[in-house]
Amino acid sequence: MAYRITLIPGDGVGPEITEATRRCVEATGVKIKWDIEHAGVDIMEKAGTPLPKSVLESIRKNKIALKGPITTPIGKGFRSVNVALRKELDLYACLRPCKSYRGVRSKYENIDLVIVRENTEDLYAGIEFEEGKKDTKAIIDEIEKYSGKSINSDSGISIKPISITGTKRIVRFAFDFAVKNKRKKITVVTKANIMKYTDGLFLAVAKQVAEKYQGKIEYQEMLVDNMCMQLVQKPELYDVLVLPNLYGDIISDLCAGLVGGLGMAPGANIGKEIALFEPTHGSAPKYKGMNKVNPAAMILSAVLMLRYIGEKESAEKLENAVAKVIDEGKNVTYDLKQNSDIHTAVGTSQMADAIIGAMGK
């Protein structure tokens, strides 16, 4: 019986890397019936929104989605289609593995980190008040009344909600992931020394959750500024990091830089019943239609998807093929070539062909 999975090509380079990924997934032998839906700037004129209801309906029905990068229209509608998808579907856990593959240009080797980022709260909750508005003045007046602290009248205001409920479920997710995948250590990352009632709450709840995993997983706490320095100096000391939303976004990009950049950074957004898999990088519209962009991040996101649905052998088969093609360095895109060899780079589709070929060997 075939899996029914929502496929969202996205825009910019999205359709190219999505097609490359679809072919690679099908070459594993896993039977999938794709439910193709469109979101982003390319559907705006026709649908009147970058996120049509049909997209959400399809994902809710199928429970699994694979998505290419999407451009959010500037100044129109959603502040972010990606954020809207996560909030609408309550995809509270963002999973971003950062792993070294031999042949990728990087200053580091043997990196194997996993970022677990809370996806629905913190400053990304989108509760903002614009400078100069009547509501903003009222918020400022109330804050000054209750806090006794003054705020410049020409300020914009963002609200940073962090809850016990949201923190418990993301920290439990991180620990359960670590146990299931035989990881050794969880590091909780906050700025709890300064933001005592938000980050401080996150840290306090994390400690409570960690007590239930004593003897199974090592537990560690780190301030986010120190964490950035530690990851650059000695990333080998860390394993799984769990963070509030904003820090998770920043740290996951830092860790992607350790393994060669966003072109090698897969991602998953996971909720109680629904999971959406997508590369961490953006839509790069300037490269649209050029058959030039590295598809590895999206293909590796599909590897995460295959593992999630229980197709572990196929996931390993596909990941090993990606690793082999990159290591050989012959049929890879320009960013995966050594500087002196860049003229021999192949396109997105041709790299996918090589990965498919590597699975058959």
Q: Which residues are catalytically annotated?
A: 124, 191, 225, 249
- Cα separation of 359 and 361, whole Å? 6
Task: List residues bridging with 7 in a β-sheet.
Answer: 36, 66
* 331 contacts 343 by C-beta, under 8 angstroms: no
**CA 248 to chain CA centroid, nearest Å:** 9
Look at residue 229 and give its three-state secondary structure.
helix
Q: What is the CA radius of gyration of the chain?
A: 21
- Cα separation of 355 and 331, whole Å? 9
Look at residue 212 and give its three-state secondary structure.
coil
Please enumerate in sequence order all residues whose Cβ is within 8 A of that of 25, keeping only pairs 6 or more positions apart, or say none: 32, 66, 302, 305, 306, 318
Listing DSSP states for 22-58 in one string gives HHHHHHTT--EEEEE---SHHHHHHHSSSS-HHHHHH
* 260 contacts 75 by C-beta, under 8 angstroms: no
- Cα separation of 334 and 101, whole Å? 16
Task: List residues bridging with 220 in a β-sheet.
Answer: 187
Q: Return the sign of the alpha-carbon dihedral for residues 144, 148, 152, 158.
A: negative
Phi-psi region of 156 (alpha: psi -120 to 50; beta: other; left: phi over 0): beta
DSSP assignment letter at 110 = S
- Cα separation of 100 and 247, whole Å? 22
Amino acid of residue 25: V
